[in-house]
A and B are shown apart, each in its own frame.
Chain A
Amino acid sequence: MSQDNIDILQRALKREKSARKAAEKILEEKSLELYNTAQKLKEANEKLELLLEEKTSQLQGVFENINDAYLIMDLEGNALKMNDAAIDLFGYDISKEKLNVINLIYKPDANYAFKSFKELRKKGAFTDYTARIITKSKSIKWVHINASVIYDKKKMPIAAQGIIRDITDAKRTASLIEEQKRKLAKSNDELQEYAHIVSHDLKSPLRSINALVSWIKEDNEGKLDTASLQNFTLIETTLEKMEQLISDVLSYSSIGSEENEKIDVDLGGVIKDLIKILYVPEHISINILNPLPTVKGYKTKLQQLFQNLISNAIKFIDKDKGLIEIECKALKNHYQFSVKDNGMGIDKQYHKKIFKIFHTLNESKNSTGIGLSIVKKIVDLHDGDIWLESEPGKGTTFFFTLKK
């Protein structure tokens, strides 16, 4: 072998050595990197496992502790897993016996049940299923169910789960309330009817007495002395008062038995009409201080409300110049109204009493003691409140609110 050849070989060997060295170094670096990555992965895995464990135990907790019954079943309806609430509700313990949910279906609701089950298979879930079930002890319960299908990794359905709430008591309460409401409405109607009949029967004799008195007067014209004529007049005013009393009792008892819905009532219009039909003496003026709003309510009742307050104000004005002021301001949920007069005023001790039925402060021909209790009832009907401020001798202001 020539010296040249040896040199060539030696150089090649040297190159190869250094290349291997470089390769070894790269390899070493790479494996270190790989090791580190593996280490990181391991840590991450550990964390994940920990997390999974945590989630599983959380789920287990939810499963065991929810008040609602929870059930997992296979696609044929065989129960696979139930929590304690489910065991309590259905009466079956699947660790001891088999249960297919079909056995729980209450026959009259079967169609609905199968339809919902089909929907579950097709859409993967159903919500707000509400029907009756029959438990192991043959008692019938109302339940509310939300259910969904459970899928495996390949998105194949493998089971279904459901949360079942026992709503038997709620249902019973609801139907009880319905029944009570119906009964109440019926007895209200009857009372209303009764009030009309009674008022008819009470008014008829008054009419007769009135007719008989006027005949005696007519037939004995010129023969009766002043005292007798006065007494006849007294009989007539008494009859009028009695009739007013009956009408007022009737209208008091008919508040709240409205058959119609509340409508938008323009109170400005109501007051305008009212002032036209009310008898307002010359010396009394009625001022509306600001435009009145439109509220939701019963028109005739609201008219009666203002009518009673205004005519009360008129009745008790004892000054030479009478002034009635009506004002309104908007509150958050209500409108607040005031009817202010410069009349004789009401002593503080009567402020609560005057809203009670048959409570009148003045024995007069025109007051039956029902007007303000009607007012109170109408205000109540519109979710409002009523009160007053007054200074004896100076005047009274009635305040009341009506819901917007």
Chain B
Amino acid sequence: MMKNNLKVLLIEDDMIEIMKFNRVVASLESKYNIVEAHNGDEALNILKKKDELPDIILLDLNMPKINGMEFLSILKKDKNLQHIPAIILTTSNNQKDLLECYKLGIAGYVLKPLKYEDYVTKIKNLLAYWSINELIKI
């Protein structure tokens, strides 16, 4: 049986955060297809290629130019993109942000922990969870 690797679009501006994510992914047995975008603009460009859409989007909230929330509202208004599960990956546990994000239609909200080992656990579980989900394939 052919098993498709989960395709993840990671939108994150912080270099070390990207390194962290990639290091976790590299340490895992399952293989994932990671695409990086360093800000909202770049992400929107990547999403223009309709035949290469990601399965899920991991999104940082605090970013320069288009911030996470703005990106999210653009995404959720776009008929071709709104079905893609977006999971927030952020430091802010501001209740206002949480509410706003869930209202816009996110699929998850994960806080970045201080300790790297905690981060490893969270990302591992997150990727494992989305791997067992049925996703829209175009």
Task: List A residues at the B interface (Cβ < 8 Å).
Answer: 196-197, 199-201, 203-204, 206-208, 210-215, 236, 239-240, 243
Contact = CB atoms under 8 A, between A and B. Distances in A.
A211 B92 contact: no
B62 A203 contact: no
Interface residues of B, number: 19
A203 B91 contact: yes
A196 B114 contact: no
Interface string B6-43: 00000000101101100100000000000000000000
Contacts, number: 49
B94 interface: yes
A278 to B, nearest CB: 20
A210 B116 contact: yes
Given A197-B62, A208-B16, A203 B114 contact: yes
A212 B16 contact: yes
Interface string B108-127: 00001111110100000000
B16 A240 contact: no
A207 B94 CA distance: 18
What is the interface of chain A mostly: helix, strand, loop, or mixed? helix
Contacts of B90: 200
B112 A207 contact: yes
A212 B117 CA distance: 12
B14 A206 contact: no
A201 B63 CA distance: 11
A360 B101 CA distance: 38
B115 A210 contact: yes
A216 to B, nearest CB: 11
Interface of B: 14, 16-17, 19-20, 23, 62, 90-92, 94, 97, 112-117, 119
A211 B91 contact: no
Closest 3 CB pairs of A and B: A208-B16, A214-B116, A211-B116
Contact of B114 (A197, A201, A212, A239): A239
Given A211-B16, A211-B20, A212-B16, A204 B91 contact: yes
26 contacts: A196-B94, A199-B91, A200-B62, A200-B92, A203-B91, A204-B14, A204-B91, A207-B17, A207-B91, A207-B113, A207-B114, A208-B16, A208-B17, A210-B114, A211-B16, A211-B19, A211-B119, A212-B16, A214-B115, A214-B116, A214-B117, A215-B116, A236-B115, A239-B114, A240-B114, A240-B115
Given A200-B62, A211-B16, A215-B23, A206 B92 contact: no
Contacts of B16: 207-208, 211-212
B85 to A, nearest CB: 24
A196 B17 CA distance: 19
A242 to B, nearest CB: 9
A390 B67 CA distance: 52
A270 B137 CA distance: 47
A211 B19 CA distance: 9
Given A196-B97, A208-B14, A236-B115, 12 more contacts: A197-B62, A200-B92, A204-B91, A207-B17, A208-B16, A208-B20, A210-B114, A210-B115, A211-B19, A214-B116, A215-B23, A239-B114
Contacts of B20: 208, 211
A240 B97 CA distance: 24
